Amino acid sequence: MENINKIGFIGLGLIGGSLAKTIKRKHEDIEIIASSGHASTVSAAYEMGLISNSTPATIKELAMCDIVFLCAPVQQNTEYLEEIKKYIKPECILSDVGSVKNDIHYVVKKLGLTANFIGGHPMAGSEKTGLSNANAYLLENAYYILTPEADVPENMTKKMFDFIKGLDSIPLILDPDEHDFDTAAISHLPHVVSAALVNLVEQSDNAEETMKAIAAGGFKDITRISSSSPVMWQEICLTNSKKIVSLIDKYVESLNDIRDHIDACDGQEIIHFFESAKNYRDSFNITTKKNRRNVFEFYCDLIDEAGGIATIATILSTNGISIKNIGIVHNREFEEGVLLIELYDNDAYTKSIDLLKKHHYNIHER
């Protein structure tokens, strides 16, 4: 790609590794070098032909790259930035992949690196971790939020925007503060609520664990994300605390409102509460789930090529299977698979999975 010849990575976990693999797949001519907290990760990446260095790259080498992706934990990224500042070339773009932006932007401003920093948040991933789970198609058709500082030259922002778009992701530019509020609402708060609900049921259950035994459908749907890494969510809560607390307060107010309506047996307000939620949720691209027993859906990895969805639809239709719903999942931070396929019944569900696996598609069931 024009003016991008060498890219550096600090950290090659699930996201860093997937990003590196995507770049290698899309731009074989771009050299990739990397450093990692574990030398064995660098060695493994070298052995698979992902990077050009067999031992961890030095900070000076990384600072000479055209783009450097900071994919280590937040505290480590801060320490690396302090070292990079000593050697960075003026046209080098620094970016991260964290789900909270204000903290790292604060550090960047403190270090005087704002003209080089374009924060990044690829909205893709899963509960799995490490380079071994990295996927060259993980970022495909996923939203990739960019948060450039105000004094980043326009041509650098455009270069980064075009580069991310060229990886088949969907770049969006947001202010860091807006990003943190938005992700607190649609990602961070739901994880807090999910964990709180799971803890409530555990504390309320009897000695025979009856609640645990009969838990199904809706409960499993809205609490699945509680299986994510506790360490990761501790870090997110600590780095985006003000936004999360603000939304927890609003959520508690909403709960208190519906609590009072239920307590007063106010049927009109109760139905308004549920109708309002239903109407908004039904407006999403992927149809709302009603009851797990009546929803037969799975996720499928899909290479972004002409006729990709049509090929899958043809495989299913020629075998007498009707598709109820099919759509691209653009926000896949805690989902696996780019394509969601919903069928009408369990027989069609089972048959579809068998057929697509025979055609070498990678299927993710929940």
Q: Which residues contact 133 (CB under 8 A, 6 or more apart)?
A: 14, 17, 126
How many beta carbons lie within 10 A of that of residue 295, not counting itself? Answer: 18
User: What tens digit of pLDDT does each residue of 320-356 get?
Assistant: 898 888 877 766 555 556 788 888 888 899 999 999 9
User: Counting beta carbons within 10 angstroms of the beta carbon of residue 160, is it exposed (0 to 12), middle (13 to 18) or buried (19 or more)?
Assistant: buried
3-state secondary structure of 11: coil
- Name which of 69-78, 285-294, 340-349 the model is least confident about: 285-294
- Which run of H or E residues covers position 179? helix 176-183
d(CA 297, CA 37): 38
* Cβ-contact 334, 228 below 8 angstroms: yes
The pLDDT confidence band at residue 293, using thresholds 50, 70 and 90, is very low
d(CA 178, CA 198): 29
3-state SS track over 161-208:
HHHHHHCCCEEEECCHHHHHHHHHHHHHHHHHHHHHHHHHHHHHCCCC
Q: Note the pLDDT of residue 273.
A: 95
**pLDDT for residue 84 is more than 50:** yes
Tell me the CB-side half-sphere exposure of residue 92, using CA atoms within 13 A: 23
As given in the structure block, the two tokens for residue 64 are 């000479």
User: What tens digit of pLDDT does each residue of 241-285 get?
Assistant: 999 999 999 999 999 999 999 999 999 999 999 999 988 887 775
- Name which of 130-144, 198-212, 229-243, 336-350 the model is least confident about: 336-350
User: What tens digit of pLDDT does each residue of 308-322 get?
Assistant: 888 898 899 889 898
Distance of alpha carbon 214 from its chain centroid, rounded?
31
Residues 228-238 have a mean pLDDT of 86
How many beta carbons lie within 10 A of that of residue 127, not counting itself? Answer: 14
- Measuring CA to CA, which residue among 161, 135, 169, 289 is closest to residue 221? 289
Q: Note the pLDDT of residue 79.
A: 85
Query: What percent of the chain lies above the pLDDT cut of 90?
Result: 57
3-state secondary structure of 171: strand
Q: Note the pLDDT of residue 221.
A: 76
Distance of alpha carbon 363 from its chain centroid, rounded?
18
Domains and CATH numbers, the chain: 6-174 (3.40.50.720), 180-252 (1.10.3660.10), 292-364 (3.30.70.260)
**pLDDT for residue 160 is more than 50:** yes
CA distances from 129 to 16, 125, 133, 135, 144 (A): 10, 9, 6, 11, 19
Tell me the CB-side half-sphere exposure of residue 253, using CA atoms within 13 A: 6
Q: Note the pLDDT of residue 48.
A: 93
CA gyration radius, the chain: 23
Q: Note the pLDDT of residue 156.
A: 94
The pLDDT confidence band at residue 46, using thresholds 50, 70 and 90, is very high
The pLDDT confidence band at residue 304, using thresholds 50, 70 and 90, is low
As given in the structure block, the two tokens for residue 121 are 């948040």
Q: Note the pLDDT of residue 127.
A: 63
- How does the average pLDDT of the chain come out, rounded? 88
- Measuring CA to CA, which residue among 96, 66, 92, 91 is closest to residue 80? 96
The pLDDT confidence band at residue 104, using thresholds 50, 70 and 90, is very high
Query: What percent of the chain lies above the pLDDT cut of 70?
Result: 92
Q: Note the pLDDT of residue 217.
A: 64
- Measuring CA to CA, which residue among 81, 76, 157, 79 is closest to residue 120? 157
| DSSP per-residue letters across 18-56 | HHHHHHHHH-TTSEEEEE-SSHHHHHHHHHTTS-S-SSP
d(CA 246, CA 252): 10
